[in-house]
Structure 1
């Protein structure tokens, strides 16, 4: 019996330090695992607030996720209202549209410089477009004079009949009305073509200046490289 109690006492003495060592070893791990993040945000007045859990104000104003050493781990922007989200989406769409336009303009400018390495060549192409319009206007004028002559001939025939006290046939009156419409159409066409040429001439001036600006910018960029 005494021998049994002696063995139990020895085991108790040897087990005690092991248990204490295990507790001491587990303490840092437990402290590390028990560290928690906190939420920090500023209200409308700019005053900081802290909380162990997310609050409606934190979501309203946006918040920082802070660790136990006070370091910001993550920032979360405030939640947008439906109106703000719609406005933000609209602004993003407009920005994307502007970028697309700028990219397309750069592409067209690059093609322009590749097709016309010199200003003289580009100016010649612009003049060619005006020459084409001038040729079209000349053709319309010739057609108009021809149609006006036909109308004059019909009116002369009708006038001769009236002076001779003879009735003007229906087919002649119909032909005169139809020919007047043809002449009116030709005059309108000529007016549109003349207006288009004026617009094209002004555009050519702007296009040539744009060519000079783009070429100068490219030269400056090349020298900077």
Structure 2
């Protein structure tokens, strides 16, 4: 008469899996055990298998308990001020990348309007000539203002040498001329910086134009 297996009997494969699984999991669990290396306030180095509460936010190393090798380096927790500074820096970097990308797209649009490098340089030569004319005018204005200032300073110096007070109108004129010379010199610096920016922009556009030509992109009307 055939023997009937109990209703609770498991298939042989399932039984073997249950027996082997704990053995296989044991090395894996051991491999994942960690040690922590940290330094206290006195400079003493500690190795522990658990972090004391007061150490949770400070720098430490995580080591493999099996090999002793460093698996990770954890930096200390940032202060609120440091966290805000990091967020601000990250936001500034993101904004800079956005500006750079927008600038790149704008320059792509500009360069697409020119057929040749000569056309591009001719267009920018007009802008540069206008800036040069402005610089010449500013230089002449500065020279004139300086000459007037020297004259008024001479009048004030003569009065002081003669033991007379400097006339109020002369003193006022000297101050006005100083302010005007300073303003004109600042304008000259700004126009010189603008000229440099225009030149750098031109060189970037020339490079972009050559790049488009190498990629075989057709110019307007091409």
TM-score, normalised to structure 2, is 0.51
Shift of 1:211: 1.3
Unaligned runs of 5+ in 2: 37-61, 218-222
- Report which of the two structures shows the higher radius of gyration computed on alpha carbons: 1
Shift of 1:178: 0.9
Unaligned runs of 5+ in 1: 1-12, 40-49, 64-76
Number of residue pairs matched?
A: 173
Matched residues in 1 for 2:96 and 2:65: separation?
35
Query: Residue 104 of structure 1 corresponds to which residue in structure 2?
Result: 99
1:195 aligns to 2:189 (yes or no): yes
Matched residues in 2 for 1:195 and 1:179: separation?
24
Shift of 1:212: 1.6
Matched residues in 2 for 1:222 and 1:94: separation?
40
Tell me the C-alpha RMSD between the 2 structures: 5.0
Higher relative contact order (CA 8 A, sep 6+): 2
1:18 aligns to 2:4 (yes or no): yes
Q: How do 1:55-74 and structure 2 match up within 5 A?
A: 55-56=33-34, 60-61=63-64
C-alpha change, 1:149 and 1:80, in structure 2 (3 Å) is closer
Shift of 1:177: 0.6
Shift of 1:101: 4.0
C-alpha contact 2:64 2:71 (8 A) present in aligned 1: yes
C-alpha change, 1:95 and 1:222, in structure 2 (3 Å) is farther
Matched residues in 2 for 1:143 and 1:97: separation?
39
CA deviations over 1:43-81 (Å, ceiling 9, x no partner): xxxxxxx45443225962499xxxxxxxxxxxxx93432
C-alpha contact 1:148 1:183 (8 A) present in aligned 2: no
Residue number among 7, 28, 39 corresponding to 2:13 in the alignment: 28
